[in-house]
């Protein structure tokens, strides 16, 4: 890239990153998808973003820390999030400990829930809320009925993968949150809830999620950020609704993207970002993701 082109890319990258990180009542939430092969820095970037997302409060006339919902994984890095308080939501019947890699417990405030609805009620405002799905999940009846109706399903699915609990949490937050409140949902390694050619009932859940949830999340002041390894394995009908894209090193970039020609310029610690034909490049800090929290 020419020096001039690079300056423009850095400036536009900073602007787009601002749109990802800072939400305004007029523009609503932001939907973003990030993909790149393992080990390229996705989780690090998500950790950085979780600590920084903010919204502008029109009444107070200032930026406020935005509430984050983070889907917890067995091996995760949420304890490295800086700048916000962190709590975990754990199902009443489950006994989960959070340990560092040497087996020492990690101190974290734990909230118990019975239902996805309760998580929505108990969200800590301005905090990062880590959500661990129940070990044995059965979907909320009200939600299941809504999905069955909208998807013309006659028979009740026998078993619903626990990973879909996050859909339930998003559904209840969207439905019950205060209309002025902003919430960002972050899902790392989202491949398994956006599977390409998913079989039923998963197919129906994904279709419902796309048509009933993703479509108007932004308007309800919710943001949604997902990361996955390989865009060839995910449900593209959902990704298509997500206009902001973030690519790290060695990401497969769609043919129609302006960034495809520039992919060799993404170095470790940088990302390319685009939205509706605008595109740029930006930097972020290194995080030691070998420093893990283990949930078991």
Ligand X SMILES: Nc1ncnc2c1ncn2[C@@H]1O[C@H](COP(=O)(O)OP(=O)(O)O)[C@@H](O)[C@H]1O
Would you tell me which residues interact with ligand X (CB under 6 A)?
A: 36, 38-44, 268-269, 284-289
Measure the CA–CA gap between 40 and 270, rounded to whole angstroms.
10
Please state, in angstroms and rounded to a whole number, the distance separating the CA atoms of residues 224 and 221.
Answer: 10
Closer to ligand X by Cβ: residue 83 or 268: 268
Cβ distance to ligand X smaller for residue 45 or 185: 45
Residue 268's binding partner out of ligand X, Mg ion, none, with CB under 5 to 8 Å set by partner kind: ligand X
How many residues sit close enough to Mg ion to count as binding (CB under 5 A)?
A: 2
From the list 208, 201, 249, 244, the residue with the least C-alpha distance to 226 is 244
Compare residues 78 and 182 and give the one whose CB is closer to Mg ion: 78
Pairing of strands 222-228, 183-187: parallel
> Would you say 17 or 40 has its CB closer to Mg ion?
40
Q: How far is the CB of 42 from ligand X (least distance, A)?
A: 3
Distance in Å, CB of 282 to ligand X, minimum: 11
Task: Report the nearest approach of Mg ion to the CB of residue 135 (Å).
Answer: 22
Nearer of residues 112 and 270 to Mg ion, judged by Cβ: 270
| CA atoms of 157 and 7, how far apart (whole Å) | 53
Q: In degrees to the nearest 10, what's the CA dihedral of 199, 212, 76, 116?
A: -100
Q: Residue 40 binds which one of Mg ion, ligand X, none, with CB within 5 to 8 A depending on kind?
A: ligand X
Binding mask 17-56 for Mg ion (x = CB under 5 A): -------------------------xx-------------
Tell me the closest approach of the beta carbon of residue 97 to ligand X, in angstroms.
22
Please tell me the chain's helix, strand, coil percentages from 3-state DSSP, rounded to the nearest 5: 35, 25, 40
Task: Reduce the DSSP state of residue 1 to 3 states and report it.
Answer: coil
Which of Mg ion, ligand X, none sits in contact with 105, Cβ below 5 to 8 A by type?
none
E strands in the chain: 22-23, 31-35, 54-57, 62-65, 67-71, 75-76, 86-91, 98-99, 109-113, 128-131, 183-187, 222-228, 244-247, 270-275, 278-283, 293-295
CB 77, min distance to ligand X, A: 7
Site for Mg ion, rule CB under 5 A? 42-43
């Amino acid at each position: 890239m020419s020096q001039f082109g690079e300056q423009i890319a850095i400036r536009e990258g900073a602007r787009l990153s601002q749109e990802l990180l800072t939400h305004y009542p007029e523009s609503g939430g932001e939907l973003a998808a990030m993909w790149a092969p393992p080990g390229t820095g996705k989780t690090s970037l998500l950790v950085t973003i979780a600590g920084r997302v903010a919204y502008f409060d029109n009444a107070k006339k200032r930026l406020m820390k935005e509430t984050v919902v983070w889907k917890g994984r067995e091996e995760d890095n949420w304890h490295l999030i800086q700048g916000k308080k962190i709590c975990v939501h754990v199902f009443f019947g489950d006994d989960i400990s959070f340990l560092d890699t040497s087996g020492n417990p990690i101190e974290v405030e734990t909230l118990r829930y019975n239902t996805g609805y309760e998580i929505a009620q108990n969200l800590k405002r301005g905090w990062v809320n880590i959500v661990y799905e129940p070990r044995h999940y059965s979907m909320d009846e009200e939600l299941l009925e809504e999905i069955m109706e909208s998807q013309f399903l006659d028979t009740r699915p026998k078993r619903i993968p626990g990973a879909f609990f996050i859909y339930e949490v998003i559904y209840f937050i969207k439905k019950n949150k205060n209309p002025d409140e902003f919430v960002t949902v972050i899902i790392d390694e989202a491949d398994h809830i956006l599977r390409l050619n998913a079989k039923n009932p998963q197919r129906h859940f994904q279709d419902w999620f796309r048509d009933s949830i993703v479509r108007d999340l932004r308007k309800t002041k919710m943001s949604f950020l997902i990361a996955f390894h390989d865009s060839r394995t995910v449900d593209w009908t959902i990704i298509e609704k997500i206009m902001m894209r973030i690519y790290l090193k060695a990401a497969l970039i769609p043919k129609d993207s302006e960034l495809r020609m520039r992919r060799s310029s993404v170095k470790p610690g940088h990302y390319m970002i685009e939205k509706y034909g605008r595109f740029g490049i930006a930097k972020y800090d290194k995080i030691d993701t070998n420093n893990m929290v283990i949930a078991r």
